[in-house]
Structures are given as structure tokens and as C-alpha cells.
Amino acid sequence: MKNTTITIATVMMGIIMSMLFISLVSATEYIGRQYEDINIVDTCVVAGFPCPASYLCNITISDPDQKLIILNQPMTRNDTIYNYTFIVTDVLGYYAVNIYCDNSTFSGNEESTLWVTTTGREPNMMITLLLLICSLGLFLLALYLKNHAIGFISGILFVIAGVYMMIYGLGDLADMYTRAIALVVIAFGSFVTLLAGLEWLEDLDG
């Protein structure tokens, strides 16, 4: 393939290697999506049994900037669990959650963490990275062997990787920036597919 294609491949390799070094955050007790309501559910237990109806539970929440946004708000009892619908999810990051339950005689509290992301799920970059690495590996192999068929397949894989990233985001992020990266990957894959396909046809005609 042409030298311009090799230069673009080098840039793409740099982008993919940057993705490899994105740190993944461990799982938290609660996770939710930005700008959407999140149900925080707690099971109150006394001596191994669900708390009786005499127990009341209140919740306190601080945002990632340690600003107190919910203070001792009552949770709704539903059979053996207590629920609170959290609606202030504008800020991304970790929220400190403290739940306090008592029945005027016995009491206890539980501290946990709520993680608000743009996708509402924990990061899972395995499929995205696998697609990108396979695409890049085939692309480099095509350059080394000067095989247009392998280059054509690598371009298709780049397009698939870009579409997957467009739908599911990158890790725990799914915003305009990840969509922009996805568009670049799709454009590069389309370029490789088109170029490799044309040169493949030229070889067949020759």
C-alpha cells in the first residue's frame, strides 16, 4: 500500500496504544447513568433477619466534590428492603453514600459508593481492544506481505470496531469524544477497505 497509508497506520497505532493504558476502575456497590434516576436499595438486617417495620432508614449522599447534596432523607420501605430514588446525577464520578437505620432502640449505619458514568455500567474495553488489535495486526501483516486481501479484511474489522465503539462507547465513557474517535476509526477502516479493494482488483486485472 502507499506511504500515506503507512503514516496513517502509525497514527492509529498511537491512538490504540493510548487506549491500552487507560486505567480501569474496580466495581462499586452502586452504579448508574448520568442524568438518569438511580434506585439505591439497601437490605436492613438485624441478627441475620430482615429488619421489622419499626426500623426507619435515612440516606445521606455527597457528590464527587464532597459537597453534601442529600442529608438524612427517608428511604421508602418495600417489604424487607429500603429504597431511595436518587435524581441529582449531573456530575460524573464517585458519590459517598451513608445509610442510617434505627428503631429508637437499636441503630446502625452502612457506608457505600455510588459511581455515576455516562454509560451506566462498569468499563469493559476487552471487545473494543480485541477488535482494534486484530484490525491493526492484520493491517500490519498486509503491509508486510503486500497482500491486498488481508488489507481488505483489516479495513472491514476497523469499521466493525468503530461501529461497536460508536454504540457502546469506550470503557465507561460514551460521549461526543468517544463518538468522534469512533468516526475516525470508521473513516480509516473505510479508507483501507477501499484502497485495498481497488489495488486487489488491479492485481486481478493485471
- Sign of the CA dihedral with 185 first, then 191, 197, and 199 last: negative
Instruction: Count CB neighbours of 120 within 10 A.
Output: 16
Reply yes or no on whether the pLDDT at 1 is more than 70: no
pLDDT score recorded for residue 54: 85
Strands 68-74 and 56-62: antiparallel
Task: In whole angstroms, give the CA distance from residue 116 to residue 129.
Answer: 23
Instruction: Count CB neighbours of 172 within 10 A.
Output: 21
Put simply, whether the predicted model's pTM sits higher than 0.85 gets the answer no
pLDDT score recorded for residue 40: 93
Q: Is residue 129 part of a domain?
A: yes
Q: Is residue 130 part of a domain?
A: yes
pLDDT score recorded for residue 206: 60
Domain end, chosen from 89, 117, 145, is at 117
Please state the separation of Cα 39 from the chain's center in Å.
Answer: 20
Q: Please say whether the beta carbons of 44 and 76 come within 8 A.
A: no
What share of the chain in percent tops pLDDT 90? 35
Is 128 found in the same domain as 76? no
Confidence class for position 25, pLDDT limits 50, 70, 90 = very low
Domain end, chosen from 117, 134, 153, is at 117
Q: Is residue 92 part of a domain?
A: yes
Is 19 found in the same domain as 43? no
> Average pLDDT in the 106-130 region?
82
3-state secondary structure 106-127: CEEEEEEEEEEECCCCCCCCHH
Is 19 found in the same domain as 35? no
Q: Report the CATH number that the domain containing residue 60 is assigned in CATH.
A: 2.60.40.10
Q: Which range has the top average pLDDT, 57-61, 90-94, 196-200?
A: 57-61
> Average pLDDT in the 123-147 region?
87
Q: Please say whether the beta carbons of 22 and 171 come within 8 A.
A: yes
What is the domain extent for residue 195? Answer: 3-24+123-200
Q: What's the pLDDT tens digit per position in 154-190?
A: 999 999 999 988 887 776 677 788 889 999 999 999 9
Q: Is residue 206 part of a domain?
A: no
Is 128 found in the same domain as 113? no
pLDDT score recorded for residue 28: 45
Is 84 found in the same domain as 37? yes
> What separation in angstroms does the CA of 42 have from each of 30, 158, 177?
11, 44, 35
Is 188 found in the same domain as 133? yes
Q: Is residue 54 part of a domain?
A: yes
Does 90 or 120 have the greater pLDDT score?
Answer: 90
Q: Is residue 205 part of a domain?
A: no
Among 143, 138, 145, 132, which residue's Cα sits nearest to residue 2?
Answer: 143
Is 77 found in the same domain as 15? no
Confidence class for position 199, pLDDT limits 50, 70, 90 = confident
> What separation in angstroms does the CA of 164 have from each of 67, 124, 168, 183, 194?
36, 12, 6, 11, 20
Provide the domain count of the chain: 2
Reply yes or no on whether the pLDDT at 93 is more than 70: yes
Is 155 found in the same domain as 88? no
Does 71 or 105 have the greater pLDDT score?
Answer: 71
Is 155 found in the same domain as 108? no
Is 152 found in the same domain as 81? no
pLDDT score recorded for residue 172: 64
What the block records as the C-alpha cell of 9 is 497506520
